[in-house]
Structure 1
Amino acid sequence: MTASVSDPVLRLVEVSKRYGGVRALERASFACAAGRIHALLGENGAGKSTLIKVMAGVVQPDEGRILLQGQQRQFSHPQDAVAAGIACIFQELSLLPDLSVADNICITNPPRRFGLVDRQAQRRIAQAALERAGAGDIHPLATVASLPLSKRQLVEIAKALARAPKILILDEATSALPAAEVQRVFALLRRLRDEGLAIVYISHRMNEVTELADECSVFRNGHEVASFPAGTRSDAQVVEMMIGRDLAHVFPPKPAAQAAGAAPALEVRGLTWAGRLHDVDLAVRPGEIVGLGGLDGQGQRELFLALFGVLRGVGGEVLVAGRRARIGGPRAAKALGIALVPEDRKTDGLLLPMSVNDNLSLAALDRFSRAGVLRLAQERSAVAGIVRRLAIKAGSMEDAVGTLSGGNQQKVVIGKWLLNEPRVLLLNDLTRGIDVGTKQEIYALVRTLADEGAAVLFYSTDYAELIGCCDRVAVFYGGRIVRWLEGGALTEHALVASALNLNEEATA
């Protein structure tokens, strides 16, 4: 018999946690039951991450109780929670990139033989965990660093399942996955639910919550606002609970079509690289947002890296403002007015231990320097202007940027490039792991930047974003652009069919 929420396997009762003067949780309560998928909703900074860190033994609460199967427990270390059957997959991946997939999956408890790690047994364990996670195509001996972000997230799920948990907590575990792999993960989570696991699921994608969850709890400002069966509240009602205000519209209105004769700010002709990009042709005009669609791993990331000067041996031509450009590295790209917001802000976009101020000014230090001396007053004034413009929320500009919420961290990544006043913006999965309120702010910002004359290339794994934000979308398949979609043809049906490289009749 399936357990009900009135008989929870895990319960948190009036839990509070403060960091200095910041209140992360204030007398917050939460309960989840075996055989149920419980969605935990709220903006970044609402307390969700702190709550699951309390469940996982990463953070000890200042007040409150943790009850596991009715018994009060205290987790002073993450291993205590793991031993109790709680596995947590955080948004910040815990993988060691230079080790193999098998090493990562078994790192906390590797199988041993004669006192040494049994490599064959470890590989078997890893392969079984990968197959259970729907990622049997990932080789156990591959290094994590060689995998794209979407595959790394599947390895993280496999790592959690290898611990045979009774309670599985997922924090934005599908945020970097394309639609096809999301469905594989959903099928896995439903199977685990039917096997009796209690699953706590955090996502900022409302369609995922609607499709997957049995129960929902909404948090705001460290408090539980409401808990209810999934499907008993409309999306608009849920969003209003999350942000405390009505979300009148998500995407800003698109302007009239750009003049056909406007000269492109960025033009790519026959771009080719290492068997991953094949004769890519595209042009982006000032004021235009051009989307990159298609399944993950079809060349979109490589296109961004080629345009930012990261890749070597790139063939074809790149023209910036009508002039052929030789982009020998990121410094050359920056000098041409090109900015890249990467897909993984924590690894590639920010220096987490450094301050908010230092991260914001890092890409523009040459603007604030004279004869090698930093002009602090000019730097601080420019940074303050960006903070106001993007509404970046931080206790102090000297706080480590790693202490900010995910949405505010992403604003810092964007803001550091805005100080350079770029003409071309390369935006790689810009809103991954960001709450709906901050997403709306970022959508409006991107449209404003385009209206001010920037040319924007915009890749997203979320079809709604491509439809709502972009003027045109180039769909990639196998490193090529297989179809352009715009106007009335830019629909989710057409995006999915084109991503699978189906013929046009299949999209009718």
Structure 2
Amino acid sequence: MEEAIPLFQMTGVSKRYGGVRALEAADLAVEPGQIQAILGENGAGKSTLIKIMSGVVAPDAGQLMMHGQPVSFASPAAANKAGIACIFQELSLIPDLSVADNIVISDPPKRFGMIDRKAQRRVAEEALRRAGAEDIHPAALVADLPLSRRQMVEIAKALARNPRILILDEATSALTAADVTKVFSVLKRLRADGMALLFISHRMNEIAELADVCTVFRNGRNVATYAAGTRTDNDVVEMMIGREYSHVFPAKPLRGEAALPPVLECRQLSWTNRLRDISLSVGAGEVVGLGGLDGQGQRELLLALFGVLRGCTGKVLIDGKAVSISSPVTARSHAVGMALIPEDRKTEGLLLPMSVRENLSFSSLDRLSRWGIIDRAAEQIANDEMLQLLEIKTAGLDIPAGALSGGNQQKVVIAKWLMRNPRIILLNDPTRGIDVGTKQELYRLLRRLADRGASILFYSTDYDELIGCCDRVLVFYDGAIRRELAGEEMTEHALVASALNIPGGKATEVRV
């Protein structure tokens, strides 16, 4: 019996950027009515793979085929015309345009040579419905939407093109739990309708729920393709990193009953209806987690502490003394010594067109300059120390930060703040969209920083991270801390129950 021809096939595809090998003789077959997971560390070649499929870059060697016929895509528009749509991790939306404008921007409906606004709205409404995002108004400005809602608009924009192959690159990493559930239902329905889907995620639970087939990439090559559910998570991770996998979280220090002296405190901190009388403390050498469902005030707390939000009430104390942190400049000053690792490294953490060197040095120019002139020798020493400390993989300090893999970009964001030797570190979901190997490195780094005396406030949407990394977890609900978990109380069950504000179990009083 003759073997069926794949909908799309990639054979022997290679791509290099200067001396860096991104893909080397890579193969891939995509079947209709199937969700195929693409797994691999950051830098394994996944991003280059989908950029070639979607017409963003051209391969140096190899062949692409649709329905058994050779094809080449000179541009993303050519790939779209062939039926391939891609949802990249970095959003392609234009903030100052409406949701409807963004969804139809590549091919707006027209009447008498003018954009047909009524037809545009109908197309946008249908695309939002297909994406499970009917609650987003087509006339809303994208700039007014939070990151999770923008991601839903990005998904709707791709579906509006009616693709035969849909590629999702970490498309759920910025979504709330409720949105993830909706998107999974959409993807399963698209699969049932015969669409082919490529799904890239570092969340193994998502892979287990969605994928029919998994393909693992390492060092630019595909090393295995297997039916979902036939390999253990440890087997998969070992294929991804090329070495034996041992989990993952470094040991926590044993602490006595005595409370650590507080470095950072806040008392009755409030802001509009998003923060309600937040009182907490973080001791020297302590990692305190912020848990709860996404959007319950955790991000606003970090922004308030860093001086970003206006109109906050309550008190913030550093080493027991009340301080007024009116701006990020005050927060990062020597007197306070605070650093904030933002949620979105692409737009809030890095200047992507600028070099790795410039991004690393940006936050410390006052310390690296004399009379307004940068001390290049001191800058080089500081940058080299950060490259070594965080094991940042880069072809050089002068390449654009945007050319690095996602994990190495995140390391640069962290490194630029560590160059200031902060005493207080605020982390806003820092491992979103990075691979397991890089996550392990960051977990070890956090523990080393804490062991050196840093006070760390760590928000994560991953319950395993909160349990594995933190000494205590403060669970948020509706803008307030509802429960503190520590020691043996820190379980996934307790975190979920507290996040949903379900009664049961005695809540621990929050230390002030």
TM-score range for the pair, normalised by the shorter chain length = over 0.9
Structure 2 residue 282 is matched with structure 1 residue 284: yes
Change (3 A) 1:127 1:497: farther
The equivalent residue for 1:110 is: 108
The equivalent residue for 1:218 is: 216
The equivalent residue for 1:366 is: 366
Amino acid at match of 1:224: N
Aligned partner of residue 93 in structure 1, secondary structure: coil
Aligned residue runs from structure 1 range 59-458, under 5 A? 59-257=57-255, 260-335=258-333, 336-458=336-458
- For residue 20 of structure 1, the aligned residue among 18, 21, 46 is 18
Distance 1:453 1:138 in 2: 45
Distance 1:194 1:159 in 2: 20
* Contact 1:497/1:506 (8 A) holds in 2: no
Amino acid at match of 1:100: S
Amino acid at match of 2:471: D
- Give the drift of 1:379: 1.4
Aligned partner of residue 152 in structure 2, secondary structure: helix
The equivalent residue for 2:461 is: 461
- Give the drift of 1:505: 6.5
Q: Mean alpha-carbon deviation: is it higher for 214-223 or for 175-184?
A: 175-184
Aligned partner of residue 197 in structure 2, secondary structure: strand
- Give the drift of 1:121: 2.2
Distance 1:467 1:141 in 2: 41
Change (3 A) 1:470 1:178: farther
- Give the drift of 1:120: 2.4
- Give the drift of 1:184: 1.8
Distance 1:466 1:157 in 2: 29
- Give the drift of 1:118: 2.0
Change (3 A) 1:140 1:271: same
Q: Mean alpha-carbon deviation: is it higher for 119-128 or for 252-261?
A: 252-261
Distance 1:88 1:483 in 2: 41
TM-score (norm: length of structure 1): 0.96
1:311-350 CA deviation, whole Å, 9 max, x = no partner? 1111111111211111111110001111000000010101
In the alignment, structure 1 segments of 5+ residues that lack a partner are none
Q: Mean alpha-carbon deviation: is it higher for 110-119 or for 33-42?
A: 110-119
Aligned partner of residue 458 in structure 1, secondary structure: strand
1:388-435 CA deviation, whole Å, 9 max, x = no partner? 111111111111111111111111100011111111111011011111
- Give the drift of 1:371: 2.1
Compute the RMSD of aligned alpha carbons: 1.7
- Give the drift of 1:5: 9.5
1:44-64 CA deviation, whole Å, 9 max, x = no partner? 111111011111111111111
1:460-493 CA deviation, whole Å, 9 max, x = no partner? 1111111111111111121111222222222222
Aligned partner of residue 254 in structure 2, secondary structure: coil
Amino acid at match of 1:319: L
- Give the drift of 1:211: 1.6
Distance 1:326 1:165 in 2: 53
Q: Mean alpha-carbon deviation: is it higher for 379-388 or for 126-135?
A: 126-135
Equivalent residues, number = 504
Amino acid at match of 1:200: L
Change (3 A) 1:150 1:237: same
* Contact 1:356/1:399 (8 A) holds in 2: yes
Amino acid at match of 1:502: I
- Give the drift of 1:6: 5.4
Aligned partner of residue 22 in structure 2, secondary structure: strand
Change (3 A) 1:483 1:123: farther
Amino acid at match of 1:197: M
Q: Mean alpha-carbon deviation: is it higher for 342-351 or for 146-155?
A: 146-155
Distance 1:99 1:504 in 2: 46
Distance 1:477 1:254 in 2: 27
Aligned partner of residue 299 in structure 2, secondary structure: helix
The equivalent residue for 2:510 is: none
Aligned partner of residue 411 in structure 2, secondary structure: helix
Distance 1:149 1:254 in 2: 33
In the alignment, structure 2 segments of 5+ residues that lack a partner are 508-512
1:66-115 CA deviation, whole Å, 9 max, x = no partner? 11122211111111111111110011111111111111111111122232
Q: Mean alpha-carbon deviation: is it higher for 462-471 or for 31-40?
A: 462-471
Distance 2:6 2:48 in 1: 20
* Contact 1:219/1:242 (8 A) holds in 2: yes
Amino acid at match of 2:128: L
% same residue: 63
Aligned partner of residue 332 in structure 2, secondary structure: helix
- Give the drift of 1:216: 0.5
Change (3 A) 1:15 1:254: same
Amino acid at match of 2:142: V
- Give the drift of 1:506: 12
Distance 2:432 2:102 in 1: 24
